[in-house]
Structure 1
Amino acid sequence: MTHYVAGFVKRINARNRLPLDYSVASLRVVDFVVDGLRKGGADQGSVRGTLFGLGAYAGEVMVRRAGGAWTDFDVSQRELFGQPVGIRMPDGRVWNPLGKVVNRFDAGAEESVRGLYLQLHGRARRPSLDSAA
């Protein structure tokens, strides 16, 4: 997933020059982009790839900033979360950033991607260059 996210960020930054720098603060940009897609009247099917990429990006922020690791969901988790992969935190809990982005698209502001990060239990405490964490 890390390699996929790097390619996604490169493509989206080339077109839109978004500040996707893997900081916690950049998760606000994810919320903003999803809101723009939603308000622009796009249907979920037409933006599925972009939503997946933004969700993967959010997951990569969780990996880099909070000590998470990508994990393949088992069959029951795939059924529950509707996604093939997620993030396992150091405390063993799994989180679904890809699904959170889809929820943001479907429900709006009450489903904050940045808010998901702030709710993580078991975040590794690492020194960060991101003062907005």
Structure 2
Amino acid sequence: MTTHATHATTRQGPGSAPRPSAATKPVRWAADAVSALREGARVRLDYSAQSLWRVDRLIEEIRREGAPYAAVETVLRGFGAYAGEVVVGQTGAEWWATGGEHWVRTPDGRLWDPVDEARRCFAGDGSLRLLCRDATGAAG
């Protein structure tokens, strides 16, 4: 990993707590995914760990339908960012960025790549729910 990670702090809205500038894009990607699902598929996501069961199932459905990766790349990025925001909310983790990649760093110092995990889910070899469980130390 590169040692030049972005971690300057900015505010994300009136009255909100400071967030690292590395969070700007993932926060937007996650919000876009939540909005698109609410409007297009009538699916509501609430930024809970339990909601990641639904996201994993949605990715599985997209994969089973045979959608080409290029057609769903942005959606997968949004799902991964959403999972990252769940981890941030559960653990107080922070987004870090370098070289165009975004990771979540949990308070114990571990780095997680939820955007890549969403891609792995689409390939049939990943789980955003399990990533969140592992990152938060939660059982099941």
Matched residue, 2:122: 105
Q: Aligned pair 1:92/2:117, yes or no?
A: no
Note the aligned Cα RMSD (angstroms): 2.1
**TM-score, length of structure 1 as denominator length:** 0.77
Q: CA deviation at 1:72?
A: 0.4
Matched residue, 2:129: 114
Q: CA deviation at 1:124?
A: 8.5
Structure-2 change in CA distance of 1:47 and 1:3 (3 Å): closer
**TM-score, length of structure 2 as denominator length:** 0.74
Q: CA–CA distance in 1 between the matches of 2:47 and 2:94?
A: 15
Instruction: Point out where structure 1 has 5 or more consecutive residues left out of the alignment.
Output: 76-82, 126-131
Matched residue, 1:128: none
Q: Aligned pair 1:33/2:58, yes or no?
A: yes
Whose strand proportion is higher, 1 or 2? 2
Instruction: Point out where structure 2 has 5 or more consecutive residues left out of the alignment.
Output: 1-25
Q: Aligned pair 1:65/2:90, yes or no?
A: yes
Q: CA–CA distance in 2 between the matches of 1:105 and 1:34?
A: 6
8 Å CA contact 2:117, 2:126 repeated in 1: yes
8 Å CA contact 1:90, 1:124 repeated in 2: no
List per-residue Cα deviations over 1:89-119 (Å, max 9, x = no partner). Answer: 001111000000100101x2x5211011111
